[in-house]
Amino acid sequence: MTRVIDGRALAARLRARLAAEVAALRAGRGIVPGLRVLLVGEDPASAAYVRTKEKMAREVGIDGRVVRLPSEVSEAEVLARVAAWNADPAVHGILVQLPLPAHIRTRSVLEAIDPAKDVDGFHPLNAGRLATLSGPPPEELLVPCTPRGCLLLLEEALGDLSALRGKRALVLGRSTIVGRPMAALLLAHDATVTIAHSRSRDLAEECRRAEILVVAVGRPELVRGGWLAPDSVVIDVGINRVGAADGTSRLVGDVAFAEALGRVAAITPVPGGVGPMTVACLLDNTLRACRRQLVVEG
């Protein structure tokens, strides 16, 4: 029987722990972790995601604030906002919601964020530290939120991350946001890792060899049930909206969920799997960044 890994429940437990730790930090040192989110433009999906981040931050006691700027804002204005937050001791975490408008260079903005406040884990310094790990990431390393959430979901399914040791793991997707950092995390836990992508030959056969499969390609139900190894563990990062003939729509993942049930050992649903964990890990990164900065400041 396939276990459906409940990302909502796991995220709720993580948020409860964070709320207790944030309350203790406030009571003991009078410090409230501060998170600033920059949203440029009116992309509906980004706006909805940012509202969720703001709401969840408030619920765990983090001072989370969103600054919304019009799509025609200049790159210089965006960089000035980031610089101000870098210099503000009350701000411990900075997140610039992607994608940015075409006239703003994403790389320039991400590189402008203080690596110690980079709670998305996208700064080249943090990415480089993750890529060169020789073991599990240290507490102070800010790991990208979605891959970290995936790792926690794997821990939930396997019971212990030591179970990854030696397992054949396939990451389907090579983005710098999910695929590559996910592969680095799996390697850090001694899995035998393959990265496949749109240019890979015979994706179905690659998937059939995998005991651990993480799919992040953004193509609805690309991975069919027959592609999956029996008793494998599947983490589906994809969130795709598909329409029906009657004009309604629904969210599906990159894996054909119904076909996977009864075949794999465990799988995340869409929605309710990776998404809630991404937001919870953002809040966790904010608290980690706050603690790290308090240590540095003495």
Active site residues: 53, 97, 120
The amino acid at residue 294 is L
The amino acid at residue 295 is V
Rounded alpha-carbon distances, angstroms, from residue 202 to 106, 172, 199, 212: 33, 12, 9, 18
Rounded alpha-carbon distances, angstroms, from residue 238 to 112, 250, 273, 291: 29, 13, 10, 32
Q: Which residue has the tokens 């999906």?
A: 45
Give the C-alpha separation, 96 to 155, whole Å.
29
Q: How is residue 45 written in tokens?
A: 């999906």
Nearest to 286 by CA among 57, 3, 24, 29: 57
Task: Kindly state the DSSP code that residue 138 receives in the 8-state scheme.
Answer: P
Beta strands in 118-216 (DSSP E): 168-172, 192-196, 212-215
Nearest to 213 by CA among 190, 189, 230: 230
Contact 210, 168 (CB under 8 A): yes
Q: How is residue 60 written in tokens?
A: 């765990």
Contact 115, 93 (CB under 8 A): no
In this structure, the dihedral spanned by the alpha carbons of residues 175, 181, 187 and 188, taken in order and rounded to 10 degrees, is 180
Q: How is residue 290 written in tokens?
A: 């706050």
Helix (H) or strand (E) holding 81: helix 75-87
